[in-house]
Amino acid sequence: MVRITVEMVRNKAEHHDRLLGPLEEISLHQENIEKIEFIQDWCPKLKILLMQSNLIAKIENLNKLKNLTYLNLALNNIEIIENLERCESLQKLDLTLNFIGEIVSVENLVDNYNLENLYLTGNPCTDYDNYRDFVIGTLPQLTSLDGRDIERSHRIKALQNLKIIRSDILFEQENYRHQRRKQKSRLERDISEKWENEYKDMDPDERNKKFWAEKCEHAPEVRYEIERMRQLKLKSYEPEKKEEKRQYKFFASDGRPFNINQAKIDFTFNDSEPDKYILDLAVYKYLDTSLVDVDVQPNYVRVMVKGKIFQLHLPEEIDTTNSTAQRSQITGHLLVSMPKAKAVIQKPITSKIKSMKTAQLITDHTPKDCENGTGQSKREYLEIGPADKVLDFTKLTKAAAKPDYINPRFQRGEKMPSPDFVDNPEVPDLI
Protein backbone atom coordinates (compact mmCIF):
# COMPACT_ATOMS: atom_id res chain seq x y z
CA MET A 1 0.00 0.00 0.00
CA VAL A 2 1.38 3.38 -1.05
CA ARG A 3 0.67 6.12 1.47
CA ILE A 4 0.88 9.88 1.08
CA THR A 5 4.03 11.26 2.72
CA VAL A 6 5.35 14.74 3.37
CA GLU A 7 8.30 14.14 1.06
CA MET A 8 5.98 13.04 -1.74
CA VAL A 9 3.89 16.20 -1.44
CA ARG A 10 6.96 18.45 -1.19
CA ASN A 11 8.41 16.94 -4.35
CA LYS A 12 5.19 17.86 -6.15
CA ALA A 13 5.39 21.43 -4.80
CA GLU A 14 8.77 22.43 -6.26
CA HIS A 15 7.29 25.53 -7.88
CA HIS A 16 6.35 26.70 -4.35
CA ASP A 17 9.84 26.17 -2.94
CA ARG A 18 8.55 22.96 -1.30
CA LEU A 19 6.28 24.96 1.03
CA LEU A 20 2.98 23.22 1.77
CA GLY A 21 1.09 25.92 3.66
CA PRO A 22 0.50 28.35 0.75
CA LEU A 23 0.15 25.55 -1.84
CA GLU A 24 -2.97 25.95 -4.04
CA GLU A 25 -2.49 23.18 -6.62
CA ILE A 26 -0.98 19.72 -6.41
CA SER A 27 -0.90 16.69 -8.70
CA LEU A 28 -0.60 13.24 -7.12
CA HIS A 29 -1.59 11.16 -10.13
CA GLN A 30 -0.18 7.70 -10.96
CA GLU A 31 1.32 7.18 -7.52
CA ASN A 32 -0.65 3.98 -6.67
CA ILE A 33 -2.16 5.77 -3.65
CA GLU A 34 -4.89 3.74 -1.96
CA LYS A 35 -6.14 6.24 0.61
CA ILE A 36 -6.66 10.02 0.78
CA GLU A 37 -5.08 11.35 3.98
CA PHE A 38 -3.11 14.24 5.50
CA ILE A 39 -3.62 16.60 2.55
CA GLN A 40 -6.30 18.72 4.21
CA ASP A 41 -3.97 19.31 7.18
CA TRP A 42 -0.80 20.02 5.22
CA CYS A 43 -2.34 22.12 2.42
CA PRO A 44 -5.36 24.00 3.86
CA LYS A 45 -5.39 26.55 0.99
CA LEU A 46 -5.56 23.96 -1.77
CA LYS A 47 -7.78 24.83 -4.75
CA ILE A 48 -6.92 22.11 -7.30
CA LEU A 49 -6.28 18.49 -6.33
CA LEU A 50 -5.43 15.98 -9.07
CA MET A 51 -5.37 12.35 -7.93
CA GLN A 52 -6.34 10.42 -11.04
CA SER A 53 -4.92 6.98 -11.94
CA ASN A 54 -4.51 5.70 -8.40
CA LEU A 55 -6.13 2.91 -6.39
CA ILE A 56 -8.35 5.05 -4.13
CA ALA A 57 -11.48 3.19 -3.01
CA LYS A 58 -13.16 5.88 -0.90
CA ILE A 59 -13.58 9.67 -0.95
CA GLU A 60 -12.55 10.88 2.51
CA ASN A 61 -10.52 13.40 4.53
CA LEU A 62 -11.29 16.40 2.32
CA ASN A 63 -13.82 18.27 4.52
CA LYS A 64 -11.35 20.98 5.61
CA LEU A 65 -10.54 22.08 2.06
CA LYS A 66 -12.92 25.05 1.97
CA ASN A 67 -11.16 26.59 -1.07
CA LEU A 68 -11.14 23.43 -3.21
CA THR A 69 -12.68 24.15 -6.62
CA TYR A 70 -11.49 21.19 -8.75
CA LEU A 71 -11.16 17.57 -7.66
CA ASN A 72 -10.04 14.91 -10.13
CA LEU A 73 -10.44 11.29 -8.96
CA ALA A 74 -10.73 9.62 -12.37
CA LEU A 75 -9.44 6.04 -12.87
CA ASN A 76 -9.74 4.95 -9.26
CA ASN A 77 -11.80 2.29 -7.44
CA ILE A 78 -14.51 4.56 -5.97
CA GLU A 79 -18.00 2.99 -5.69
CA ILE A 80 -19.92 5.67 -3.73
CA ILE A 81 -19.96 9.49 -3.89
CA GLU A 82 -19.61 10.74 -0.31
CA ASN A 83 -17.86 13.07 2.18
CA LEU A 84 -17.80 16.18 -0.06
CA GLU A 85 -20.65 18.14 1.58
CA ARG A 86 -18.35 20.64 3.31
CA CYS A 87 -16.35 21.50 0.20
CA GLU A 88 -18.54 24.54 -0.53
CA SER A 89 -16.26 25.94 -3.22
CA LEU A 90 -16.21 22.75 -5.33
CA GLN A 91 -17.06 23.59 -8.95
CA LYS A 92 -15.74 20.62 -10.91
CA LEU A 93 -15.74 16.94 -9.93
CA ASP A 94 -14.27 14.28 -12.22
CA LEU A 95 -15.09 10.65 -11.34
CA THR A 96 -14.55 9.15 -14.78
CA LEU A 97 -13.90 5.37 -15.02
CA ASN A 98 -14.62 4.45 -11.45
CA PHE A 99 -17.07 1.79 -10.21
CA ILE A 100 -19.96 3.93 -9.01
CA GLY A 101 -23.12 1.83 -9.10
CA GLU A 102 -24.82 3.59 -6.21
CA ILE A 103 -26.21 6.38 -8.39
CA VAL A 104 -28.45 7.58 -5.57
CA SER A 105 -25.26 8.68 -3.79
CA VAL A 106 -25.19 11.77 -6.08
CA GLU A 107 -27.77 13.19 -3.66
CA ASN A 108 -24.81 13.78 -1.30
CA LEU A 109 -23.75 16.60 -3.65
CA VAL A 110 -26.94 18.63 -3.24
CA ASP A 111 -25.32 20.99 -0.72
CA ASN A 112 -22.40 21.72 -3.06
CA TYR A 113 -24.23 24.69 -4.55
CA ASN A 114 -21.18 25.83 -6.58
CA LEU A 115 -20.84 22.51 -8.39
CA GLU A 116 -21.24 23.06 -12.15
CA ASN A 117 -19.38 20.21 -13.89
CA LEU A 118 -19.72 16.53 -13.03
CA TYR A 119 -18.11 13.63 -14.92
CA LEU A 120 -19.37 10.05 -14.38
CA THR A 121 -18.43 8.55 -17.75
CA GLY A 122 -17.35 4.91 -17.61
CA ASN A 123 -19.13 4.09 -14.33
CA PRO A 124 -21.72 1.24 -14.10
CA CYS A 125 -24.44 3.77 -13.21
CA THR A 126 -24.31 5.28 -16.70
CA ASP A 127 -25.92 2.06 -18.03
CA TYR A 128 -29.10 2.64 -16.03
CA ASP A 129 -32.22 3.80 -17.87
CA ASN A 130 -32.88 7.53 -17.37
CA TYR A 131 -29.48 7.92 -15.63
CA ARG A 132 -28.92 11.38 -17.10
CA ASP A 133 -32.42 12.64 -16.25
CA PHE A 134 -32.02 11.45 -12.66
CA VAL A 135 -28.70 13.28 -12.14
CA ILE A 136 -29.96 16.49 -13.79
CA GLY A 137 -33.14 16.47 -11.73
CA THR A 138 -31.27 15.70 -8.48
CA LEU A 139 -28.55 18.35 -8.92
CA PRO A 140 -30.17 21.55 -10.28
CA GLN A 141 -26.89 23.53 -9.87
CA LEU A 142 -25.18 21.54 -12.64
CA THR A 143 -24.52 23.21 -15.99
CA SER A 144 -22.66 20.28 -17.58
CA LEU A 145 -22.82 16.49 -17.14
CA ASP A 146 -20.17 14.21 -18.66
CA GLY A 147 -18.97 17.09 -20.82
CA ARG A 148 -22.39 17.86 -22.29
CA ASP A 149 -24.21 21.09 -21.47
CA ILE A 150 -27.56 20.79 -19.73
CA GLU A 151 -30.35 22.53 -21.60
CA ARG A 152 -33.25 24.15 -19.79
CA SER A 153 -35.75 21.83 -21.49
CA HIS A 154 -33.80 18.78 -20.25
CA ARG A 155 -33.91 20.10 -16.71
CA ILE A 156 -37.66 20.78 -16.81
CA LYS A 157 -38.35 17.28 -18.17
CA ALA A 158 -36.13 15.66 -15.53
CA LEU A 159 -37.82 17.54 -12.69
CA GLN A 160 -41.30 16.59 -13.91
CA ASN A 161 -40.57 12.83 -13.94
CA LEU A 162 -38.03 12.69 -11.06
CA LYS A 163 -40.16 10.55 -8.71
CA ILE A 164 -40.86 7.90 -11.36
CA ILE A 165 -37.28 7.96 -12.58
CA ARG A 166 -35.96 7.58 -9.04
CA SER A 167 -38.03 4.48 -8.35
CA ASP A 168 -36.75 2.86 -11.54
CA ILE A 169 -33.18 3.87 -10.67
CA LEU A 170 -33.49 2.28 -7.21
CA PHE A 171 -34.64 -0.99 -8.77
CA GLU A 172 -31.69 -1.12 -11.18
CA GLN A 173 -29.32 -0.12 -8.42
CA GLU A 174 -30.50 -3.01 -6.23
CA ASN A 175 -29.89 -5.45 -9.08
CA TYR A 176 -26.40 -4.06 -9.51
CA ARG A 177 -25.66 -4.49 -5.78
CA HIS A 178 -26.63 -8.15 -5.96
CA GLN A 179 -24.49 -8.78 -9.05
CA ARG A 180 -21.59 -6.86 -7.56
CA ARG A 181 -21.58 -8.99 -4.41
CA LYS A 182 -21.48 -12.16 -6.49
CA GLN A 183 -18.78 -10.74 -8.77
CA LYS A 184 -16.58 -9.69 -5.84
CA SER A 185 -16.67 -13.08 -4.12
CA ARG A 186 -16.05 -14.92 -7.40
CA LEU A 187 -13.11 -12.75 -8.44
CA GLU A 188 -11.45 -12.98 -5.05
CA ARG A 189 -11.76 -16.76 -5.12
CA ASP A 190 -10.45 -17.08 -8.67
CA ILE A 191 -7.47 -14.81 -8.07
CA SER A 192 -6.54 -16.68 -4.90
CA GLU A 193 -6.70 -20.07 -6.66
CA LYS A 194 -4.57 -18.83 -9.54
CA TRP A 195 -1.77 -17.70 -7.25
CA GLU A 196 -1.90 -20.89 -5.23
CA ASN A 197 -2.03 -23.32 -8.15
CA GLU A 198 -1.03 -21.81 -11.53
CA TYR A 199 1.19 -18.84 -10.75
CA LYS A 200 3.02 -20.35 -7.79
CA ASP A 201 5.71 -22.33 -9.65
CA MET A 202 5.43 -20.58 -13.02
CA ASP A 203 8.28 -18.66 -14.55
CA PRO A 204 7.77 -14.88 -14.08
CA ASP A 205 7.91 -14.17 -17.81
CA GLU A 206 5.42 -16.93 -18.64
CA ARG A 207 3.12 -15.85 -15.83
CA ASN A 208 3.15 -12.26 -17.01
CA LYS A 209 2.54 -13.28 -20.62
CA LYS A 210 -0.40 -15.51 -19.67
CA PHE A 211 -2.00 -12.85 -17.46
CA TRP A 212 -2.00 -10.17 -20.14
CA ALA A 213 -3.31 -12.58 -22.77
CA GLU A 214 -6.42 -13.41 -20.72
CA LYS A 215 -9.66 -11.45 -20.87
CA CYS A 216 -10.59 -9.73 -17.62
CA GLU A 217 -13.65 -8.06 -16.15
CA HIS A 218 -14.04 -4.43 -15.26
CA ALA A 219 -13.91 -4.56 -11.45
CA PRO A 220 -11.82 -3.09 -8.61
CA GLU A 221 -10.30 -6.52 -7.84
CA VAL A 222 -9.02 -6.85 -11.41
CA ARG A 223 -7.51 -3.37 -11.25
CA TYR A 224 -5.66 -4.30 -8.08
CA GLU A 225 -4.42 -7.46 -9.78
CA ILE A 226 -3.24 -5.50 -12.82
CA GLU A 227 -1.22 -3.19 -10.63
CA ARG A 228 0.21 -6.17 -8.77
CA MET A 229 1.39 -7.81 -11.99
CA ARG A 230 2.82 -4.53 -13.20
CA GLN A 231 4.90 -4.15 -10.04
CA LEU A 232 6.18 -7.72 -10.33
CA LYS A 233 7.19 -7.09 -13.92
CA LEU A 234 9.08 -3.94 -12.99
CA LYS A 235 10.75 -5.76 -10.12
CA SER A 236 11.98 -8.51 -12.47
CA TYR A 237 13.74 -5.90 -14.59
CA GLU A 238 15.62 -4.44 -11.67
CA PRO A 239 19.23 -5.63 -11.34
CA GLU A 240 19.95 -7.79 -8.37
CA LYS A 241 21.40 -5.79 -5.55
CA LYS A 242 24.68 -7.12 -4.30
CA GLU A 243 24.91 -7.50 -0.59
CA GLU A 244 27.23 -4.93 0.85
CA LYS A 245 30.12 -6.39 2.73
CA ARG A 246 30.00 -5.72 6.43
CA GLN A 247 32.71 -3.38 7.63
CA TYR A 248 34.19 -4.84 10.80
CA LYS A 249 35.59 -2.54 13.47
CA PHE A 250 38.64 -3.95 15.22
CA PHE A 251 38.62 -1.62 18.22
CA ALA A 252 36.09 0.23 20.36
CA SER A 253 36.23 3.99 20.88
CA ASP A 254 38.29 3.51 24.06
CA GLY A 255 40.84 1.31 22.24
CA ARG A 256 39.60 -2.02 23.59
CA PRO A 257 39.85 -4.80 20.95
CA PHE A 258 36.62 -6.44 19.83
CA ASN A 259 36.11 -10.21 19.75
CA ILE A 260 35.46 -11.13 16.10
CA ASN A 261 34.89 -14.52 14.48
CA GLN A 262 34.03 -13.65 10.88
CA ALA A 263 35.29 -17.01 9.63
CA LYS A 264 32.99 -18.82 12.13
CA ILE A 265 35.76 -21.22 13.13
CA ASP A 266 35.62 -23.32 16.30
CA PHE A 267 38.29 -22.54 18.85
CA THR A 268 39.35 -23.21 22.43
CA PHE A 269 41.14 -20.74 24.67
CA ASN A 270 43.11 -22.22 27.58
CA ASP A 271 43.99 -19.83 30.40
CA SER A 272 44.41 -22.44 33.14
CA GLU A 273 48.21 -22.36 33.03
CA PRO A 274 49.71 -19.63 35.24
CA ASP A 275 52.44 -18.51 32.86
CA LYS A 276 50.83 -18.53 29.38
CA TYR A 277 47.69 -18.58 27.22
CA ILE A 278 47.05 -21.21 24.56
CA LEU A 279 44.70 -20.67 21.62
CA ASP A 280 43.63 -23.71 19.59
CA LEU A 281 42.00 -22.57 16.34
CA ALA A 282 40.31 -25.24 14.20
CA VAL A 283 41.55 -24.00 10.81
CA TYR A 284 40.24 -25.91 7.79
CA LYS A 285 42.26 -29.07 7.31
CA TYR A 286 43.07 -28.65 3.62
CA LEU A 287 43.58 -24.88 3.67
CA ASP A 288 47.03 -23.81 2.53
CA THR A 289 49.11 -22.33 5.33
CA SER A 290 50.03 -19.36 3.13
CA LEU A 291 46.41 -18.20 3.48
CA VAL A 292 46.72 -18.01 7.27
CA ASP A 293 48.24 -14.89 8.83
CA VAL A 294 48.83 -14.62 12.59
CA ASP A 295 49.33 -11.29 14.37
CA VAL A 296 50.04 -11.40 18.12
CA GLN A 297 49.88 -8.13 20.05
CA PRO A 298 50.26 -7.47 23.79
CA ASN A 299 46.49 -7.44 24.45
CA TYR A 300 44.96 -9.33 21.52
CA VAL A 301 45.64 -11.99 18.90
CA ARG A 302 44.37 -11.71 15.31
CA VAL A 303 44.31 -14.50 12.73
CA MET A 304 43.36 -13.88 9.09
CA VAL A 305 41.99 -17.08 7.55
CA LYS A 306 41.63 -16.64 3.79
CA GLY A 307 40.85 -12.94 4.25
CA LYS A 308 38.36 -13.51 7.09
CA ILE A 309 39.02 -12.14 10.54
CA PHE A 310 39.39 -13.94 13.83
CA GLN A 311 40.30 -11.64 16.71
CA LEU A 312 40.36 -12.39 20.44
CA HIS A 313 40.88 -9.96 23.30
CA LEU A 314 43.36 -11.28 25.87
CA PRO A 315 42.61 -10.75 29.57
CA GLU A 316 46.27 -10.02 30.38
CA GLU A 317 49.29 -8.67 28.51
CA ILE A 318 51.55 -11.23 26.89
CA ASP A 319 55.15 -11.46 25.76
CA THR A 320 54.96 -11.11 21.97
CA THR A 321 58.64 -11.94 21.35
CA ASN A 322 58.36 -15.42 22.87
CA SER A 323 54.95 -16.26 21.42
CA THR A 324 54.79 -19.13 18.94
CA ALA A 325 52.31 -20.35 16.31
CA GLN A 326 52.29 -23.95 15.08
CA ARG A 327 49.95 -25.79 12.75
CA SER A 328 49.21 -29.49 12.80
CA GLN A 329 49.84 -31.35 9.56
CA ILE A 330 47.24 -33.98 10.52
CA THR A 331 44.25 -31.95 11.74
CA GLY A 332 45.14 -28.51 10.34
CA HIS A 333 44.57 -26.88 13.75
CA LEU A 334 46.55 -23.76 14.57
CA LEU A 335 48.08 -23.65 18.04
CA VAL A 336 49.19 -20.23 19.31
CA SER A 337 51.16 -20.19 22.57
CA MET A 338 51.48 -16.79 24.28
CA PRO A 339 53.54 -16.43 27.49
CA LYS A 340 52.28 -13.87 29.97
CA ALA A 341 54.37 -10.74 30.26
CA LYS A 342 54.17 -10.50 34.09
CA ALA A 343 54.25 -14.21 34.86
CA VAL A 344 56.33 -15.32 37.93
CA ILE A 345 58.20 -18.51 37.05
CA GLN A 346 58.57 -20.71 40.10
CA LYS A 347 61.01 -23.62 39.82
CA PRO A 348 60.81 -26.40 42.42
CA ILE A 349 63.78 -26.45 44.80
CA THR A 350 65.08 -29.97 45.41
CA SER A 351 68.14 -30.45 47.63
CA LYS A 352 69.36 -33.16 49.85
CA ILE A 353 70.08 -32.33 53.44
CA LYS A 354 73.40 -33.77 54.43
CA SER A 355 74.43 -34.53 58.00
CA MET A 356 76.39 -31.62 59.30
CA LYS A 357 78.21 -31.03 62.56
CA THR A 358 77.77 -27.67 64.18
CA ALA A 359 79.91 -26.02 66.78
CA GLN A 360 78.76 -23.49 69.24
CA LEU A 361 80.53 -20.15 68.99
CA ILE A 362 80.37 -18.19 72.17
CA THR A 363 81.66 -14.67 72.27
CA ASP A 364 82.51 -12.65 75.37
CA HIS A 365 81.03 -9.41 73.99
CA THR A 366 77.51 -9.87 72.57
CA PRO A 367 76.11 -7.12 70.28
CA LYS A 368 72.80 -5.57 71.16
CA ASP A 369 71.11 -6.93 68.08
CA CYS A 370 71.99 -10.46 69.24
CA GLU A 371 70.34 -10.11 72.61
CA ASN A 372 66.91 -11.42 73.30
CA GLY A 373 64.33 -9.84 75.51
CA THR A 374 65.87 -11.25 78.73
CA GLY A 375 69.30 -9.70 78.17
CA GLN A 376 70.88 -13.12 77.53
CA SER A 377 73.06 -13.61 74.49
CA LYS A 378 71.85 -15.75 71.58
CA ARG A 379 73.86 -18.72 70.42
CA GLU A 380 75.15 -18.77 66.87
CA TYR A 381 75.96 -21.98 65.07
CA LEU A 382 78.69 -22.24 62.50
CA GLU A 383 78.81 -24.96 59.86
CA ILE A 384 82.27 -26.55 59.93
CA GLY A 385 81.78 -29.45 57.57
CA PRO A 386 81.13 -33.14 58.01
CA ALA A 387 81.89 -34.98 61.21
CA ASP A 388 84.86 -36.92 59.76
CA LYS A 389 86.92 -33.74 59.42
CA VAL A 390 88.08 -33.05 62.98
CA LEU A 391 90.55 -30.30 63.83
CA ASP A 392 93.92 -31.47 65.25
CA PHE A 393 94.74 -29.05 68.05
CA THR A 394 98.11 -30.83 68.77
CA LYS A 395 99.61 -29.25 65.67
CA LEU A 396 99.39 -25.74 67.05
CA THR A 397 102.78 -24.12 67.67
CA LYS A 398 104.21 -23.99 71.14
CA ALA A 399 104.97 -20.31 70.77
CA ALA A 400 101.35 -19.60 70.30
CA ALA A 401 100.46 -21.81 73.25
CA LYS A 402 102.90 -20.15 75.78
CA PRO A 403 104.74 -16.98 74.72
CA ASP A 404 107.79 -15.61 76.61
CA TYR A 405 106.26 -12.14 77.04
CA ILE A 406 102.60 -11.49 77.59
CA ASN A 407 101.40 -7.97 77.10
CA PRO A 408 99.17 -6.75 79.90
CA ARG A 409 96.33 -6.07 77.52
CA PHE A 410 96.40 -9.69 76.40
CA GLN A 411 95.76 -10.69 80.02
CA ARG A 412 92.33 -9.02 79.75
CA GLY A 413 91.21 -11.77 77.41
CA GLU A 414 92.22 -10.16 74.18
CA LYS A 415 93.42 -12.26 71.22
CA MET A 416 97.04 -13.43 71.29
CA PRO A 417 99.35 -12.09 68.54
CA SER A 418 101.16 -14.28 66.05
CA PRO A 419 104.73 -15.55 66.87
CA ASP A 420 106.34 -13.10 64.45
CA PHE A 421 104.66 -10.10 66.06
CA VAL A 422 107.10 -7.45 67.45
CA ASP A 423 105.63 -5.02 69.88
CA ASN A 424 106.76 -1.42 69.58
CA PRO A 425 106.32 0.39 72.91
CA GLU A 426 106.27 3.79 71.21
CA VAL A 427 103.10 2.89 69.31
CA PRO A 428 100.05 3.67 71.46
CA ASP A 429 97.53 1.01 72.11
CA LEU A 430 94.49 0.66 69.86
CA ILE A 431 91.29 1.83 71.40
Closest by CA position to 49, among listed 201, 76, 304: 76
CATH fold of the domain at 260-339: Immunoglobulin-like (2.60.40)
Give the pLDDT score at 156. Answer: 93
Question: Which residues of the chain are modeled with pLDDT < 70?
Answer: 1, 238-246, 343-419, 429-431
Q: How far is CA 9 from CA 12, 54, 429, in A?
A: 5, 15, 120
Give the pLDDT score at 65. Answer: 94
Positions of E strands within 143-208: 144-145, 148-149
Give the pLDDT score at 366. Answer: 42
Q: Roughly how many angstroms between the first and final C-alpha of the chain, as a whole number? A: 116
Give the pLDDT score at 200. Answer: 78
Tell me, yes or no, if the pTM score tops 0.85: no
- Pick one of 3.30.230.10, 3.20.20.70, 3.80.10.10, 3.40.50.300 as the CATH number of 6-174: 3.80.10.10
Give the pLDDT score at 399. Answer: 44
3-class state of residue 277 by DSSP: strand
DSSP state of 1: -
Closest by CA position to 103, among listed 156, 166, 58, 179: 166
* Cα–Cα distance measured from residue 391 to residue 398, given in angstroms and rounded to the nearest whole number: 17
What are the residue ranges spanned by the domains of the chain?
6-174, 260-339
Give the pLDDT score at 429. Answer: 67
